[in-house]
Amino acid sequence: MNESLEVLLQKLNENESAISRLYRQFARSFPDDAAIWETIAADEDRHSGWLDQLLAICKAGKIRTGSGGLRFEAVESMLDYVLSVTENCAQGKLHRENVFAIAFDIENSLLERKFFSVLESDSREFKTLTQEIVRETYRHRAEIGKHLETIRSGQGSHPVGR
């Protein structure tokens, strides 16, 4: 059992949960877009559950350190950032374009891209779970990017959130 990998998986799980809460705040603050944010938040919740399963695989000794170099500090920094954005959104400090741009940046972040390069496993379940998380993250990027482009082109402007 690799305790540092366990801690990393726990932190990554916290990150997914924090992102889900952020997207739910976006849904509350921008009701016209609530369906989009609630759907993506539910996906992030599912990712968190999958990370619980990966943690169990890790505890069984079936995950080892991979080739990537993701530091705990990077995860902590992302968590701090997400919590700050959530608070700013709740206080009405963000515009609709801001939230889509922030979400697009989060989904494109180095943390999201390197999510599983730090882990390796021969476990079929590990491979299936990580492929699903990566697939859904790519889908999130595409969907959020599409909405952001629409907003920036002037076709989807809405007032500041509540």
pLDDT at 69: 62
Domains, in order of start, for the chain: 3-152 (1.20.1260)
State residue 89's pLDDT score: 98
What whole-number distance in Å separates Cα of residue 19 and Cα of residue 42? 10
Q: Residue 95 corresponds to which tokens in the numbers above? A: 């515009």
Is 73:145 a contact under the CB 8 Å cutoff? no
What integer pLDDT is reported at residue 162 of this predicted model?
41
**CB-hemisphere CA count at 13 Å for 80?**
6
- pLDDT, residue 121, reads 87
pLDDT at 161: 45
Question: Closest Cα to residue 84, out of 16, 18, 33?
Answer: 18
**Per-residue pLDDT at 110:** 55
pTM of the model: 0.86
CA 88 – CA 82 distance, rounded (Å)? 10
Q: Which phi and psi (to 5°) does residue 124 adopt? A: -65, -40
On whether the CB atoms of residues 141 and 104 are closer than 8 A, the answer is yes
pLDDT tens-place values along the chain, 162 residues long: 466 888 888 988 999 999 999 999 999 999 999 999 999 999 999 999 999 999 999 999 998 876 566 677 888 899 999 999 999 999 999 999 999 999 999 998 855 556 666 778 899 999 899 888 888 888 999 999 999 999 999 865 554 444
Question: How confident is the model at residue 112, as a pLDDT?
Answer: 56
- Note the helical H segments in 3-70: 3-29, 34-59
Residue 15 to residue 25: CA distance in whole angstroms: 15
Q: What are phi and psi of 68, to 5 degrees?
A: -75, 170
Closest CA to 17 of 53, 54, 42: 42
